[in-house]
Amino acid sequence: MAKEKTSKLIAQNKKAYHDYFIEETFQAGISLSGTEVKSLRAGKCSLKESYIRIENGEAFIYNMHISPYEQGNIFNKEPMRTRRLLLHKVQIRKLDAQVRAAGYTVVPLKVYFDRGLVKVDIALAKGKKLYDKRETIAKNDMRRAAEKEFKIRNLTL
């Protein structure tokens, strides 16, 4: 029997899709303490303004807010502390080379549980200019209008 893939979304960074062109995505584990995992199970996480930096051959996520666990005590960690991402060396080298050479940035997209483990989807992204953002908004509006028109047309038949 094949194992079912179960995943529960904890937090999503919708602003990343608005501000960046997403080129390639990676799945990374994250190094957490026990009370942080319990807080994530309660859904207390925010990815707003968080970013990823590669330093000394390791990937770290900055400004990811995990609220302190309510039943925790001295074991609670600082909510905005820097956390290490668990990636293969080849993936880290690839990300580092792209960031240094081609002007890309690495942003977190979402945090979720995958078969009991906390995972972070990160993306190699290139920043959008203002006119690119306007173009994306116009495309989305046209797509929504077309879907609405299609739905109305199909209801009347």
List per-residue pLDDT tens for the chain, 157 residues long.
Answer: 455 567 788 889 888 888 888 988 999 999 888 888 888 888 888 888 888 999 998 999 999 888 888 776 776 778 888 899 999 999 999 999 989 888 788 999 999 998 888 999 999 988 888 877 888 889 899 999 998 888 887 876 6
In whole angstroms, what separates CA 57 from the centre of its chain? 21
Asked if residue 157 is part of any domain, the answer here is no
pTM of the predicted protein model: 0.76
Exposure string over 43-75, b if 16+ CB within 10 A, otherwise e: ebbbbeebbbebeeeebbbeebebebbeeeeee
Residue type, 69: Y
Q: Is residue 114 part of a domain?
A: yes
- DSSP assigned state of 78: P
Judge whether 135 lies within some domain: no
Write a three-state SS string for 57-87: CEEEEECCEECCCCCCCCCCCCCCCCEEEEC
Model pLDDT, residue 21: 87
Tell me whether residue 79 is in a domain: yes
DSSP at 3: P
Residue showing tokens 């609220």: 67
What's the pLDDT at 144?
92
The answer to whether the CB of 99 falls within 8 A of the CB of 116 is: no
For the domain that residue 59 is a member of, what is the CATH number? 2.40.280.10
Which pLDDT belongs to residue 1?
47
Query: Whole domain around residue 103: which residue ranges?
Result: 7-128
149 domain residue, yes or no = no
2 in a structural domain = no
Q: Which amino acid is at 134?
A: R
The number of domains in the chain is: 1
